Amino acid sequence: MRSKAFKFLVLFLISTSVFSQVEVKGRITDAENGEPLPFVEVYDKARGLLTSSDAEGYYSFTTTKTELTLIFLSYAHEIKEEVLLLDGQDKELNILLETLTVALTEVEVTARRKRVFELSRLKDVEGTAIYAGKKTEVVLVDQSMANLATNNARQIYSKVAGLNIYQNDDAGLQLNIGGRGLDPNRTSNFNTRQNGYDISADVLGYPESYYSPAAEGIEEIQVVRGAASLQYGTQFGGLVNFKMKQPVADKPLEVITRNTTGSYGLYTNFTSVSGSADKWHYYTFFNYKTGDGFRPNSEFESKNVYAYLGYDLSEKTTLSGEVTYLRYLAKQGGGLTDLMFEQDPFQSNRSRNWFEVDWFLYNLKLDHAISENTNFTFNFFGLDASRYALGFRTNRVDQVDPGTERDLIQGDFKNYGFESRFLSNYTLLDRKATFLTGIKFYNADNFQKQGPGSDGTGPDFRFYEDDFPNYPQQSQFDLPNLNLAWFGEHIFYLSDQFSVTPGFRLEYIRTKSEGFFKRINTDAAGNVIFEETVEDNRDFERDFLLLGVGFSYKPSRLFEAYANISQNYRSVTFSDININNPAFAVSPDITDERGYTVDVGLRGNYKGVLSYDLSTFAMFYNDRIGFVQKALSDGRVISERGNVGDAVMLGLESLFETDLAKLSGWGGDYSWSYFLNLAMIRSEYTRSEQPGIEGNQVEFVPDVNLKTGMQFGYRNLRANVQYTYLSRQFTDATNSVAANISGVIGEIPAYDILDVSLSYTYRFLKLETGVNNLLDNIYFTRRATGYPGPGIIPSAPRNWYVSFQVKL
């Protein structure tokens, strides 16, 4: 019965495709000289991107509609709109585009068109969000020549100014980015979202992202700096939003499959299925990864499924749902001391350390256009997830694993919430204005347990309290968290060129910690000499108001000056308090962090030849949490995590991209571009109650952060080279250069990396290949305080990859 039903469904889809579709094709040329125009994008005005012209200016697509409004977009030419009536017969439509000579009014299409440059920026208003006066960056992933199979963040985010990236995961299982002195660990200083909803473990109580979307399924990555705190949450870093690929329009079925192989046993498969039929639209993919890792004891396996289903209730209302499931198991080779790294940077003396993540996300979204100028969205989202860390940990990471019981940390995360937004464009004193308001409800019910794991070697994530009752690191906590927020922003256009955007966010947070930890001391023979169970119940309630304002001045299409100032806030996470870590101690007085961020910049695009964004920023960080080295009365020196003091970071961030082919007057068959991404930052602790801290540099702040590269193409062949350099940086507020016995504290030396990549497309086939770290430099970017360490976590040596894509 199932077989017959399946066959019927396949025959139905085939018959629908064959008998209902018609083909529209033609050639797009320059009206002035008759030359073919490549890479012109063809949009259905109602549904989005349909196709692009090839190197000879030809385009084609299929559709089931009887009437279409087509938009033809080319950066250097006038936008052209054509109404096409279809009578069931194939249609040929040739298009002439006039050279762009005057400013154009805005044309609204469902999807944003691709740009000449790989990095774009958000408009003042998009959907039910306001970005006027903010520093925004949009990575157009489809145009990137990064190693997408392994989510290579160094390449994907190469044009996002000033990012500091941990580069120790050769599979891209986790994303670790920071910037402006913020710890990159699991992107915990950004508000991370997927299609506009939260995806981290607990937005306030544990804002770490163990899940990172597969880059091959991402359309674009939106990055909004500190001023995003008003709309998206209080984090100092701002917003990182992964916008997933959308269903293909006017096609019931499209299949893309990508297979990648590479160094150290790497194999990945990415297969997506997409389509639209009548009022239904769907997109889904499965992503599989496996490999041995570039160090011993580093094998991994990952499975990731994503599914989107949308239904047009009417022309003005869309209801959509999403589910995401990720499960991965990774063996962890452990951290190294500085001496071990010098002797052999790729050694491992941990063969029993494992890490497992089980992540399930769900989302239901209602998008309704109340009128042509007023929109409403409602997002309901949730997470049901767990993470397990198992292994032998000691503050002496060079100690050989004795094969005894292992430390096991369990984290369960169950949260749900909703965010509702209302945006209206209207006229105020004969000038346009935009008003946004929204509310957010977030409820989390998390659980954390630490205790003895098995004395075996495999990934056994069960507790063995009965077998090892005297294990010294035992704790168990329920961690409920409630968050309510009301936010709003308003764009006032004081003239056609100048706008002011004030905003606010009113927060209520109630964080609880209910549980206990045990203190157990034993003598040299393992006999218990002291045992105590300590109840630790806390109820931390607070409410506060954050304010901000942005300014934008656009005297022409080629230039914009922008500025903003916004308050920030970051609450203490329960991992700051409740995890027992042998590598460091936690100050009993640790508390929340507060401060504000300022951005001032110039950005624009000069005739499609030069795209630029030059900005300065200042981040004022009060009660910053970090590490200091403390001497105890018994002569011991320990690392303590707590509120170090007040700090300020001042910097210059710049991105310049130039289209050298256009500048050189080359024909349409060639492409040639160059980019320079340079950030220079000065940081200092301005106040601290800890001795020896004032005047020191802030952790995770390289003075120079440089990424530069060049891309060359001829027709469907493209080549890319990228160079990355970061100067040295410190990992603790004491600015220790020499390391301690755990490898957690110490300097991260300067490093540089060279990456090259190549791609070729032929009709429905695409081949990609590349070499990362071509010069085979030995370096590290991370001193881990816990898993996958503690200690130095080496970065990957020279490695290669080959990807083969088929698109049907």
Q: So what's the pLDDT on residue 15?
A: 39
CA distance 603 to 205: 36
Q: What percentage of the chain exceeds 70 in pLDDT?
A: 91
Mean pLDDT along residues 686-710? 94
pLDDT digits (tens, 9 = 90+) for 493-503: 999 899 999 99
Q: So what's the pLDDT on residue 46?
A: 67
pTM equals 0.85
Is 142 domain-assigned? no
Show which of 86, 101, 116 is a domain's final residue. Answer: 101
Is 614 domain-assigned? yes
pLDDT digits (tens, 9 = 90+) for 423-437: 999 999 889 999 999
Nearest CA to 768 out of 737, 806, 798 is that of 806
Q: So what's the pLDDT on residue 558?
A: 81
Assigned token pair, 423: 């945006």
Q: Are strands 559-570 and 585-586 parallel, antiparallel or unpaired?
A: unpaired
Q: So what's the pLDDT on residue 105?
A: 39
Q: So what's the pLDDT on residue 12?
A: 38
For residues 365 and 514, state if they share a domain. yes
Show which of 101, 130, 161 is a domain's final residue. Answer: 101
pLDDT digits (tens, 9 = 90+) for 162-201: 999 999 887 888 999 998 889 898 898 899 999 999 999 9
Domain that holds residue 263: 242-807
SS3 of 39-105: CCEEEECCCEEEEECCCCCEEEEEECCCEEEEEEECCCECCEEEEEECCCCCEECCEEECECCCCCC
CA distance 716 to 457: 50
Q: What is the CATH number of the domain that holds 802?
A: 2.40.170.20
Q: So what's the pLDDT on residue 586?
A: 77
- pLDDT(403) > 80: yes
Is 230 domain-assigned? no
- Which range, of 583-587, 682-686, 795-799, averages the lowest pLDDT? 583-587
Mean pLDDT along residues 57-75? 83
Give φ, ψ of 562 to 5 degrees: -140, 155
- Which range, of 182-196, 371-385, 580-594, averages the lowest pLDDT? 580-594
pLDDT digits (tens, 9 = 90+) for 599-643: 999 999 888 789 999 999 999 999 998 877 776 665 556 677 789
Is 11 domain-assigned? no
Task: Please give the residue that has the higher pLDDT: either 529 or 100.
Answer: 529
pLDDT digits (tens, 9 = 90+) for 706-729: 999 999 999 899 999 999 999 999
Q: So what's the pLDDT on residue 803?
A: 97
Mean pLDDT of the chain: 88
Q: So what's the pLDDT on residue 364?
A: 98
- Indicate the residue type of 235: Q
Q: How many domains does the chain have?
A: 2
**Surface-to-core class of residue 449, CB atoms within 10 Å of its CB (0-12 exposed, 13-18 middle, 19+ buried):** middle
Q: So what's the pLDDT on residue 638?
A: 66
Query: Dihedral (C-alpha) 140, 144, 146, 151: value to the nearest 10 degrees?
Result: 20
Is 145 domain-assigned? no
- pLDDT(261) > 80: yes
Is 769 domain-assigned? yes
Q: How far is CA 758 from CA 217, 720, 755, 772, 804, in A?
A: 20, 6, 11, 12, 12
Task: Please give the residue that has the higher pLDDT: either 506 or 109.
Answer: 506
pLDDT digits (tens, 9 = 90+) for 758-803: 999 998 999 999 999 999 999 999 999 888 889 999 999 999 999 9
Show which of 68, 101, 134 is a domain's final residue. Answer: 101
Q: So what's the pLDDT on residue 16?
A: 40
Is 611 domain-assigned? yes
Is 316 domain-assigned? yes
Assigned token pair, 555: 């005297």
- Which range, of 32-41, 194-203, 232-241, averages the lowest pLDDT? 32-41
